[in-house]
Structure formats: C-alpha cells, structure tokens
C-alpha cells in the first residue's frame, strides 16, 4: 500500500523583537503590533514579542548580550523557527544575530518586501519589487557566505528570493543594472502618459493613505473599479486609474496609490518612486484615514511625511475619515486634520459621508474652471465638443455669426476657444 505524504507547508513561528529608545514604550508596542499584522499578512504566526529599553540600538547585535541569551531561550522554549526585528538590520547585526541565535533572522524591511513580492501582479510591479529585493540583499552579501542559506528570502521566500542563493555579488549587480534600465524605460513611458494627461484638462485626484485605510474600497465605491479590497496590509500594490463624472458633467480621474506605512523601506521608495509620484502630479489629494485606528494620528503623520519626501506640495488635500462605523458607541472622538483643506467623516463601506465627499471634490475640481461666453464660428463647430467633454455647456444658441455658447470650462482650455 502506497504511503501518503503531507505536502502542506508548515507555517513559520516567529518571535518579534523591538528596541525602545524613548521614555515611553507605547510607540514601540504599537510598531510591534503593526509588525505582527505584517507577519500575519506574509503568512507566518507570531508566537512571542520582546522589547528591550536602551538609550540606543546596539550597533553590532541590535539588542544587548543579556537580551540575546533571553531571546535564544525563548526561541527554544516556543519552538520558534525565526525572529523578526522591528528595524532594518545592518549586515553586521544580521550576521551576529544569526551566528549567536542559530536561527533565521529577518527584519521589518524583509517582511514588507516579502509581502510586496506576493502582491505584485503587473510587469512593472514585479520589476520594482525584484529591484528593491536585490538592492536589499546586495548590501548583505558581504561576510555572509556561510549563512547565505538563511538569506534566501523572507517568510515563504517569495519572489526572486530563492534564486539568490546561487548568485554572487557580480551577478546580483548585473541583474540590478538590467532592472534599473527596465524601470527607467517604464518611467519614460509613465512620464509620456503624464505629459499627455497635462494636455488633457481632466483633473486628477490621487487617493493616498496609510495601508489598509480603505483606499481601494474608496475607488471601488466611486468608480466600480472592481479591484481587490481586503482587510489586510498592502492588499493591492499596483496603481489603478479610473474616470468619474460628477452630476454637473465635470469629469475627473481617480488614481489609487501604494499604501504608506511607518518605516517604509527606502529600497521600496526608490523602486516605486515613479508609481508613488502619481500623487505629485495630481491636482487634488484625497487622503483616506482609518478613524477607528488607535494610531490614527501617527498614521496621518506617516502619510504627510511620505508626501513631503515625494515633494508633494501646493495641492488641495481632502481628508476622509473612514470607518467611523467601527468606532464603539461612547468612544467617539473629535476628528480633525489641520493640514488638509477639507475634512469629511463617514464610512466608504456603508456609504455614510460619501455624498458630502463628492460635493467637496466637485467644488474643488470646479475651482480650476472658469465661466465663458463667446461665439464659435460654424467652421469651428468642433470646439463645442471640447466644452461638452471637459466642461459644462450651460446654453447654446445658433445665430448668424455662429454658435453663441455659455459654459464652464477648465482654465487651460480658454486659449483654444
């Protein structure tokens, strides 16, 4: 009788480790809670957490010697398969921890890269993720020849992680050069699309926010985009653009962007720069914030800091405080964002506040418009379609000289009429 073999992949059991350098360790605890969500999203199980209070992170081993021994005992006691540190580890820290603990060692950056590898669907997304992974690993090959087997990948070794085991530094650098050229080519095409969009006077509204705040659900609610929307971190990775027409006839484009997160790896910011820049070239920023999150203020700070790094400025910002339906009765809070131009509260899921949000966005989009009254010669009757497509035609009258029109159009179109 033939034997049956269980081919189910065993779920990794991980201990999370953080270093607190402040008097109050609440921020570190919140960061570890988020790291636990990341680990869960990546498909592993958290079996314990550990925080060490220090004046600064230990340069050689991340945590102190006493804590390392305590961690080693915890790994054995909890039958853990590895640890995840809440900060990005240097090559020396990674090497020393692996040698001392004799277990898989990962950091927050590697877990996020691992999630991105599993989420990327388009060619551009996959290229950007692989580039970020390779740049991360290239910096950690020095002195790690004996432990390359542990560097094969993150949780589940998704994406290009496994094939890096056989690559030396030269091959990785060659691959990075190839990917950079591909990214530059994609960036060139994206810039051409942006230039074309600039000539097209349809306003662009970029949806930004902390990961899992409800951006994709927002785009689905507004435009029936049909993109994946799950209660997970980084449920969607590739940006999506859809058009929308207000009741007045004004047309706009909504663009979803990659979710932001605290300690977003700089490798990802570099690799996804052209994608994240969608916010930079938008006319209006729609900031979706999770009002039910205990870390609401910290999440909003992260979003604005990321926008600052992307040099997004001089944009009208509308903050939508989402998920107010999840705030328990009696725990309501004052929702405000002094850095935005307008704020609206509600729930994308239930539709509460959406009507008010659309009114605000329509008003801001119309601020870019101007009212005109002119006569268009019959020989140039095609210009009437410009008004109908990009603005609102209030009236038209056929007279001897041509078509007398009154309407509202984007200011960019004034010179074309």
* DSSP string of 301-365, one letter each residue: HHHHHHHHHTT--S-EEEEEEE-GGGSPTT-------TTSSEEEE--TTT-TTHHHHHHHHHHHH
Its pTM stands at 0.76
Segment among 1-5, 161-165, 397-401 with least mean pLDDT? 161-165
Give the pLDDT of residue 234: 65
Give me the phi and psi of 290, to 5 degrees please. Answer: -85, 100
The whole-chain average pLDDT of the chain stands at: 82
Q: Which two tokens stand for residue 236?
A: 């969607």
Give the pLDDT of residue 200: 66
d(CA 119, CA 135): 19
d(CA 29, CA 51): 8
d(CA 188, CA 402): 43
Q: What number is the average pLDDT over the span 283-305? A: 93
Share of the chain above pLDDT 70, in %: 83
Work out the number of other CB atoms within 10 angstroms of the CB of residue 83.
Answer: 24
- Residues found in the chain: 417
Task: Judge whether 83 and 15 are in contact, CB under 8 Å.
Answer: yes
Q: Which two tokens stand for residue 332?
A: 């309501």
Residue of 393, 415, 392 lying closest to 404 (CA atoms): 393
Task: Judge whether 321 and 345 are in contact, CB under 8 Å.
Answer: yes
Q: What number is the average pLDDT over the span 245-259? A: 82
Helices 91-101/65-77 angle, 10° precision: 50
Tell me the pLDDT tens digit for each residue of 93-151.
998 999 999 999 999 988 988 888 877 777 877 888 888 888 888 777 654 444 444 44
**Residues facing residue 222 across a β-bridge:** none
Give the pLDDT of residue 142: 52
Contacts of 133 (CB under 8 A, 6+ apart): 113, 117, 159, 160, 161, 164, 267
d(CA 254, CA 240): 8
* Model confidence band, residue 205 (pLDDT cutoffs 50, 70, 90): very high
Residue of 215, 237, 216, 234 lying closest to 225 (CA atoms): 216
Give me the phi and psi of 32, to 5 degrees please. Answer: -70, -35
Residue of 203, 374, 383 lying closest to 283 (CA atoms): 203
Tell me the pLDDT tens digit for each residue of 302-312.
999 988 888 88
Helices 123-138/169-199 angle, 10° precision: 140
Q: Which residue has the higher pLDDT, 90 or 227?
A: 90
The answer to whether residue 163 scores a pLDDT higher than 50 is: no
Q: Left (φ > 0), alpha (ψ -120 to 50) or beta: where does 341 sit?
A: alpha
Which homologous superfamily does the CATH classification assign to the domain defined by 13-111? GTPase HflX, N-terminal domain (3.40.50.11060)
Task: Judge whether 28 and 86 are in contact, CB under 8 Å.
Answer: yes
| 330-336: long-range pairs with CB below 8 Å, 24+ | 333/291, 335/291
> To which H or E segment does residue 5 belong?
none
> To which H or E segment does residue 168 belong?
none
Place of tokens 């034997």: 3
Work out the number of other CB atoms within 10 angstroms of the CB of residue 380.
Answer: 11
Give the pLDDT of residue 167: 53
- Return the CATH number of 201-366, one of 3.40.50.300, 3.30.460.20, 3.10.20.30, 3.40.640.10: 3.40.50.300
Q: What number is the average pLDDT over the span 200-208? A: 84
The answer to whether residue 65 scores a pLDDT higher than 80 is: yes
Q: What number is the average pLDDT over the span 363-372? A: 83
Share of the chain above pLDDT 90, in %: 35
Q: Which residue has the higher pLDDT, 228 or 302?
A: 302
The answer to whether residue 351 scores a pLDDT higher than 60 is: yes
The sign of the dihedral angle between the CA atoms of 129, 134, 135, 141 is: positive
Q: Which two tokens stand for residue 53?
A: 């209070």
Q: Where are the alpha helices (DSSP H) in 78-122?
A: 91-101, 108-119
Q: Which residue has the higher pLDDT, 234 or 295?
A: 295
The answer to whether residue 25 scores a pLDDT higher than 90 is: no
Residue of 208, 216, 96 lying closest to 147 (CA atoms): 96
| 179-182: long-range pairs with CB below 8 Å, 24+ | 179/127, 179/130, 179/131, 179/134, 180/131, 182/127
The answer to whether residue 84 scores a pLDDT higher than 80 is: yes
């Amino acid at each position: 009788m033939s034997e049956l073999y269980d081919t189910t992949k065993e779920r990794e059991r991980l201990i999370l480790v953080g270093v607190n350098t402040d008097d109050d360790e609440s921020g570190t605890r919140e960061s570890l809670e988020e790291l636990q969500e990341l680990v869960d999203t990546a498909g592993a199980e958290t079996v314990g957490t550990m925080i060490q209070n220090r004046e600064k992170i230990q340069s050689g081993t991340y945590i102190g010697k006493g804590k390392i021994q305590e961690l080693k005992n915890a790994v054995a006691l909890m039958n853990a398969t590895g640890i995840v540190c809440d900060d990005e580890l240097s090559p020396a820290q990674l090497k020393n921890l692996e040698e001392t603990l004799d277990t898989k060692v990962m950091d927050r950056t590697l877990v996020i890269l691992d999630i991105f590898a599993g989420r990327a669907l388009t060619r551009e997304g996959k290229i950007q993720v692989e580039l970020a992974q390779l740049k991360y690993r290239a910096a950690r090959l020095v002195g790690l020849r004996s432990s390359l087997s542990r560097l094969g990948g993150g949780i589940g070794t998704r994406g290009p992680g496994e094939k890096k085991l056989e690559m030396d530094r030269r091959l990785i650098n060659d691959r990075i050069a190839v990917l950079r050229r591909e990214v530059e080519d994609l960036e060139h095409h994206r810039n051409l699309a942006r230039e074309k969009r600039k000539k097209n006077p349809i306003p662009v509204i970029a949806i930004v926010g902390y990961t899992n705040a409800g951006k994709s659900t927002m785009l689905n609610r507004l435009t029936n985009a049909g993109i994946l929307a799950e209660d997970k971190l980084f449920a969607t990775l590739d940006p999506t653009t859809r058009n929308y027409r207000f009741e007045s006839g004004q047309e706009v484009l909504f663009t979803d962007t990659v979710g932001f997160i605290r300690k977003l790896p700089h490798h990802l910011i570099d690799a996804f720069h052209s994608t994240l820049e969608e916010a930079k070239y938008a006319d209006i920023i729609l900031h979706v914030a999770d009002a039910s999150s205990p870390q609401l203020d910290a999440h909003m700070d992260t979003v604005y800091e990321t926008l600052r790094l992307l040099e997004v400025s001089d944009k009208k910002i509308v903050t939508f405080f989402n998920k107010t339906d999840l705030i328990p009765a009696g725990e309501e809070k004052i929702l405000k964002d002094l850095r935005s131009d307008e704020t609206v509260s509600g729930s994308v899921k239930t539709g509460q506040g959406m009507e008010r949000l659309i009114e605000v966005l329509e008003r801001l989009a119309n601020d870019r418009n101007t009212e005109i009254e002119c006569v268009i010669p019959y020989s140039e009757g095609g210009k009437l379609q410009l008004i109908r497509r990009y603005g609102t035609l209030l009236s038209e009258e056929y007279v001897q000289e041509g078509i007398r029109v009154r309407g509202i159009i984007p200011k960019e179109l004034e010179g074309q009429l």
